[in-house]
Structure 1
Amino acid sequence: MSDVRISRLHFPVTTLGPGRRVGLWFQGCSIRCAGCISVDTWDAGEGQVSLADVIAELARLAPAADGLTVSGGEPFDQPDALAALLTAWRSVSSRSIFLFTGYERDAIAPWLSAHPGLVDAVMTGPFRSDLPQSQALRGSDNQQLEILSELGAEFHSFDRAAGDADRRLDVLFDEAGHAWFAGIPARGDLGRLRRILALRGHHAEMSDRAARERAS
C-alpha cells in the first residue's frame, strides 16, 4: 500500500476537539448519509495521494498540535491506510487521536481490537437528519462518543448538551484560494450563511463534486 485517498489535511482546527488540532479528512464514503454537509468527500475516485507524503506532513505539523482529529468521508473505508497514518502519528506525537465514523461501534470493533491503542476517542454512528441535534460534537443525537484511553479522557468535556460555542466554524483556505468550513454547524446554519452572503452581493455554492453527488 503506497497511496491513500485524502480530501484535505489542515492545521489548526479548533472546532473538532480540544485545542489546536490537525484535521485529516479521508476521501470516499460508502455510507452516504442523507443530508450530509460533506458530500464533496463521498467520491472514492478522487483525492489519491502518496501515503508517505501524508505521513511527512503529519510529522511536520505534529509538534505544534494538541492532537489529531480524523473524519471524512469515511475513514474505515480505507482501514489499512487509516492504521498506517495513525501509527505514524503515534511515532511523532504523544497527543490524542479522535476519530469520527459513520459506522456503529460493533462494525469497527474488529479493527479496534486489531489495532489497540491507536484511537483515544471515537464518535460513532451515521448522521440522521430526522433526529435532534442537541449534543456537543454531534451532527445528530444518535451518535455516540466513546473514550478509549487515558489520553481520550479530555473528550469527557464534550459529553454534554451543545452550547453556542459548539456551533463555531473554522474558516479554512486551500492553495487555490477556495474557502471551506470545519466544525459541526447547527441545522440550517449553512443555508442562512448563503442567504446572508447573497444579500451582501456575494455568491456561495457547493463544490463541483458536491453538486454532482447531489444530482446523482
Structure 2
Amino acid sequence: MIEIALSRLHFPVTTLGPGKRIGIWLQGCSIRCPGCISADTWAAGRHTTTIGEVMGALQKWLRIADGITVSGGEPFDQSLALVTLLKAIRGEFSGDIFVYSGYPFEKLHSELSAADGLIDALMTDPFVAGMAQSLPLRGSDNQRLHLLTSLGADRFAPFTVPSSYAPKFDVMFDEDGSVWFAGVPSQNAFRQIAASLDLEGHRVSTSEDKGPSSKGVAP
C-alpha cells in the first residue's frame, strides 16, 4: 500500500482556481523558496497516511466540488504517491485537477509522462520574493501556468493573462483555534496582518519563512 505525506485537506477553497475546490496540501519540500508562506509544509517524514485513507476523507466532497488543487510542500517530491492519488481521484471525479510545483516545467518530463491525462493545469517554477505579482494564482510573475488538457484550457484560460485580479485568500479555523489561510495573498500580507494584530496586543506566529533573504510569500 502506497503511503503519502499529507499536510492537510480542506473544502471549499475558492482562491486556488475556478469554483469551489478541494485543497490537498502535501507535506515535504526540497525546494524551500525563501519567503514561502507555507514553511510548515517543508519538513519531510511527517503526517504519513495512505492513499486509501485520503480517498476516504475526500468522498464527502467529490460529488460537490468543481475542481481539486494540489499544493504543498512540493507534490512532485512524492511523484509516485502523487500519481497514484490522482489516478484514484480520476476514477471518481469529473472536475479539473490543478497542481502547483516549484520545479521548472522542463525538469518534470518523466513525472508528467507518468501523470499523462491526470493533471489539467499545472503551475511551475519557484516563487521569487520581491518579484512583480500581476498574474492570477501566482506568488511571483516568473511562475508559468501550463494547460495540459482541453478541460484545463477551458477552465484556466482566464488565468493565463494579466487582469484586474487582486491577490486574496480564504480564512479557515482549526479545532484548536489556529487560523490558517489558503490562496495567493499579496507579498508581505502576512507581515502586515501580524503587525496590525501586534498593535492590538495579540501575539502572532505565522508559517511564513523568515530567513534573511525572505521578502514575500508563495502559495
Give TM-score scaled by structure 2 length: 0.90
Whether 1:9 aligns to 2:9 is yes
Give the partner amino acid of 1:117: G
Q: Larger relative CO (CA 8 A, sep 6+): 1 or 2?
A: 2
Q: Does 1:159 align with 2:160?
A: yes
Other structure's SS at 1:180 match: strand
Q: How far 1:162 sits from its partner (Å)?
A: 5.0
Kindly provide the CA deviation profile for residues 130-154 of structure 1, in whole angstroms up to 9, marking residues without a partner as x.
4221211111111100101111021
Runs (5+) with no aligned partner, structure 1: none
Q: Structure 1 vs Structure 2: percent identity of aligned residues? A: 48
Aligned pairs for 1:1-216 (under 5 A) are: 1-153=1-153, 154-163=155-164, 165-206=165-206
CA distance in 1 between partners of 2:60 and 2:211 (Å)? 36
What CA distance in whole angstroms lies between the structure 2 residues aligned with 1:201 and 1:30? 36
Of the structure 1 ranges 124-133 and 98-107, higher mean CA displacement relative to structure 2 is found in 124-133
Asked if 2 retains the 8 angstrom alpha-carbon contact of 1:9 and 1:24, the reply is yes
CA distance in 1, matches of 2:29, 2:41: 7
Deviation of the 1:63 alpha carbon: 0.7
Using the TM superposition, give the Cα deviation of residue 80 of structure 1 relative to its aligned residue in structure 2, in angstroms.
0.9
Structure 1, 139-148 or 107-116: larger mean CA deviation:
107-116
Task: Return the TM-score normalized by structure 1.
Answer: 0.91
Provide the alpha-carbon RMSD of the alignment.
Answer: 1.8
Q: Is contact 1:25-1:73 (8 Å) kept?
A: yes
Contact 2:121–2:145 (Cα < 8 Å) also in 1: yes
Count how many residue pairs are aligned between Structure 1 and Structure 2. 211
Of Structure 1 and Structure 2, the greater helix share is in 1
Equivalent pair of 1:166/1:184 in contact (CA under 8 Å): no
